[in-house]
Each structure stands twice: as C-alpha cells, then as structure tokens.
Structure 1
Amino acid sequence: MKRFVVTGSGSGIGRATAARLRDAGHAVLGVDRANADVAADLGTPTGRAQAIDAIARHWPDGIDGVLAAAGISAPDRAAETIAINHFGAVAVLEGVRPLLAKHGRGRAVAIGSTSVLLPSDAATVALCLAGDEAGAIAAAAASAQTSYMTSKLALTLWLRREAVTRDWAGSGILLNGVAPGVVSTPMTAPLFDDPAMMALIAQSNPMAVEGFAQPEEIAELIVHLLTMEGHYLLGQMIFIDGGTDAIMRPERF
C-alpha cells in the first residue's frame, strides 16, 4: 500500500483518480473545498498553507505521490482561475515535495490541458512563472477570456522547468503532467448543453475518435504515472485528447 494526496478529489478527474487508487489498495488523502478529507481553498495562500500543514500532520513520514487536479474553468472568474489552476497547483506540489523526497521514489502529476494550444496571454504567463500572483491576477483581468488557457500554459512551463532540477529529479521525484482534451465532468457539463459552445469546441478540439473522454480514462493514465517503477520518465506533459494535439500540430512534438 502506498500513500497518495489528490487535490480536487471531490469531483471529476481528481475523484476518479482517488477512487482508482483506493480500489488498488492504496491510501488516499483527498483535498478539496468540500466533501474531502482535507477541506481547503487552494485559491488562497491561507488555504494552501492549511492543506500542506494538514497533509504533513497526517503523514509526517512521507508520501509516495501527489496529483494536483484542483482547477476551474470560468472566464468570469479570471482571478480565481489563475489563483487555483496555477498558483494553487504549484504551491501544493512544492509544499509536499519534502514529503515525497522522504521515500526517495516520489511521483507527482499535474493536470494540464490541450487548451495550451489556443491563444493565451504571454504577460500573465511570465508573471506566473516569476511567482508574482498579485501581478498575474491583475494582468489576467484584462484578458479574462484566455485565463484558463493562460493558467494551464503557465503550469505546463513551470512543470517542464522544475522537473529536471535537483529539487525534483535530483531527489528521486518524477514530476509529470497530463493534458486532457474535453472530458465529461461537472466543470464541463454546461458546455454540452450549449450548441454554440459545442460548435466552438469542434473547431478548437478536433478529434480522431468519437465521443469525449470520461474522467476514469484520464485517471487510468494518471495512476500509471503515480505508481510506475521506472525512473526515466519526467518533465512530460502527456496529451490524452483523442488526437487533438496530433491533428493541430503534427510536426511539433
């Protein structure tokens, strides 16, 4: 039995991953705003600190893996999108890194998105990567429609940079991510009832297969990344999108 932390465990991909890990006999500590083992708002510095402290108190001897799945997609809540999707994820990953290092074979996964293929705001991304949360939130307000794409691109670039450092790879911790396409979750449910939005999705997320993904399909890949024995896969953002990435940029990989 291994020990795993899953943020966003109350619904969607986080919930499916937590269930799959538990079904395999592992111990899971879920973190979410409600209906979780640890109730915390990862959109605030206080909530992040509370979550990290609770995890450390629960498993002071270390953990085997963490999934940073908590996130939102709401253009009318640009500040919250940046705060949760990027800064919340980074804070949790960095906050539990010492616990991952205790076992020497820690595994960490973040949730990206195929939306990184779409337009985003470069200035906000730069502020995210500089760790300037107030500045990033202020900048995002001017480009609210791209806040989700921007938050996920910033998280992806952070992951790529950090995964190969001494703190992560040098400590035996493999940091990777998955970039889902459109997944049927409570967050995306409203989209399926909007014909105009579905038409837009067909253009922005072309697929080579029929039907959108279920959370359990994404969880299958995540669990593999969290439990794999090898030490050679790191710094990757793996697209699991029905072929969207290959269709949109076949010569870039």
Structure 2
Amino acid sequence: MTRTIVVTGAASGMGRATVEELTAAGHRVIGVDLRDVEVIADLSTPAGRSAMADSVARLAPDGIDGVVAAAGVTVPLPPSKIIAVNYFGAVATFELLRPLLLRSATPCAVAVISTAALMDYDDALVEACLSGDEAAAQAMADTHGATEATGYASSKQALARWLRRAAVSKEWGGSGLLLNGVGPGSVLTPMTEDFLSTPEGRAMLAKATPIALPGRAYGEASELAEIIAFLATLRGRYLLGQIIFVDGGTELFFRPDLI
C-alpha cells in the first residue's frame, strides 16, 4: 500500500537516505528542508514551521500517513539555534501535522533522537524546553553555561522525553497515532563528516560513541534509513513510544543494565 510520508531534513544525511528508502519502496515522499525538496522551510522559526505545515496541507489535502522528523543541526551553530531546530522544530512538525495524520487509517510518526541524548545534557535546559517556552529555553541555552555540544545533547534528551510522554497521551496513542523514534550513534553524514575526516575527530567520536562491532568506526545513513522507514510504514498498531538505538552498541555501553 502506497503511503504519503513527510520527511524533514530531506536534502541530506539520514533524511535523504530515508527519502530514497521510502521512494524505492513505492511510497510518496514530501521532503522538507532549506533546499532541493518539495517544501522549502526554515524549521528554526515559528513562521517557517507554519509555512511548512501550510505547504504540506496544500500538497496532501486528503491527509498524510507518516511524518519523519529528521531535521537537525549541531556545532558550530549556537545552542539557541540548535534548540530551536532540534527540539522546537521537531515538536512543532509533529503537532502541526497531527491533524493531517488523523486522516490516515494507519498513521505513524518517527523522531530522530541520538545517543548524544544520554551524554552531557543540561537538565535545567531540558526542562525549559519541555515547558514549551521557546524564548526562555533559547535564552537559557545561550546564557546558562551550556556549550554547543551540551546544547545538542540537551535538545535530543528533551525530544526523547517529549516523545515518551506524548506517545501515550490522548492526542497521540489515544487517537491511534503511533509515535516512535530512532537513536543513531555515530553516523557518516554531512553533519559529522568534518569530525570523521581527521584522526583526532575519529578518536573523539570513538570515545564518545563506542561501537562493539568489529571494524566499524561509524554507521551509514542507509542503515538508519532502513529502521526509520520501517517505523514510518508500520502495518501493526502495537509499537508505541519506543526509541530504537541504531548505534553498533553505544547505548549498551552507557546503560548495560537497563531493560
């Protein structure tokens, strides 16, 4: 069955790989990004998010079957910008497109988290994001002593917590909308290629994201796309609120006893 699926961050990296995976399977994809896609929108701003939702509604007036929030940014952007895109942009994508998802018989939404969510995040900044006050959260991100890396980790930790809480809410699981996520480890994308292009960068990522598999320094975007596409096209209706870590074992090194 052909599905209509919106993918943010669709111009490159895991988003682009997901578009390719879904298209190859015969699905219709509406890409959202800053360039080279069906919907050009800046998800770092409320106006850009609203424009995205309006454009998607025009392209899919009968509704959509899936949403993948893969858009994300990291250093060298300031923490406030990282928070704006990675947390508030992702949450707004889900919330603004939820009415279109409700028109599907088998709606699925997928958030791209990160193993960085397990690392050096700022709990106060995470709570500021979850409070929904974007201006306050951005101000805190730039003044609370958060580094760019901590801003990224905090944005992903906040998104993971939002997902787990929202998944079982009346608006999502209670309305038949499946909300799940993936947690990539170190993956070769335009966002990480600078780190992975030098021995120092590779050593830093190897320490931050240990991999148990032999001969692997990082994952490929296509390996994440396979799981994202699976979650975005679920026929069964019983998988809810889960974050599947696709990381070569990184999450297990951090939390070996978590069940």
| TM-score when normalising by structure 1 | 0.97
**How far apart are the structure 2 equivalents of 1:193 and 1:161?**
38
Gaps of 5+ in 2: none
Q: CA deviation at 1:61?
A: 1.0
Pairing partner for 1:215 from 217, 221, 231: 221
Which amino acid counterpart does residue 148 of structure 1 have in structure 2?
Y
Q: CA deviation at 1:204?
A: 1.4
Aligned 8 A contact 1:41 1:47 in 2: yes
SS at match of 2:7: strand
Aligned 8 A contact 1:76 1:144 in 2: no
Q: Does residue 1:226 correspond to 2:232, yes or no?
A: yes
1:13 match: 14
2:182 match: 178
1:53 match: 54
Q: CA deviation at 1:75?
A: 4.8
Gaps of 5+ in 1: none
**How far apart are the structure 2 equivalents of 1:196 and 1:7?**
31
1:1-253 maps to which residues of 2 (within 5 A)? 1-141=2-142, 142-145=145-148, 146-209=150-213, 210-211=215-216, 212-253=218-259
Which amino acid counterpart does residue 230 of structure 1 have in structure 2?
G
SS at match of 1:143: coil
Q: CA deviation at 1:236?
A: 0.7
Map Cα deviations across residues 77-105 of structure 1 (whole Å, 9 max, x no partner): 21110000000000011111111111132
Map Cα deviations across residues 43-68 of structure 1 (whole Å, 9 max, x no partner): 01110000001011111111000100
Map Cα deviations across residues 115-173 of structure 1 (whole Å, 9 max, x no partner): 11211111110110010111111111130230000000000000000001111111111
Which amino acid counterpart does residue 115 of structure 2 have in structure 1?
T
Q: Matched residues, percent identical?
A: 49
Q: CA deviation at 1:217?
A: 0.5
**How far apart are the structure 2 equivalents of 1:17 and 1:45?**
25
SS at match of 1:46: helix
Which amino acid counterpart does residue 141 of structure 2 have in structure 1?
A
* Range 70-79 or range 115-124, more displaced: 70-79
Which amino acid counterpart does residue 176 of structure 1 have in structure 2?
N
Which amino acid counterpart does residue 236 of structure 2 have in structure 1?
G
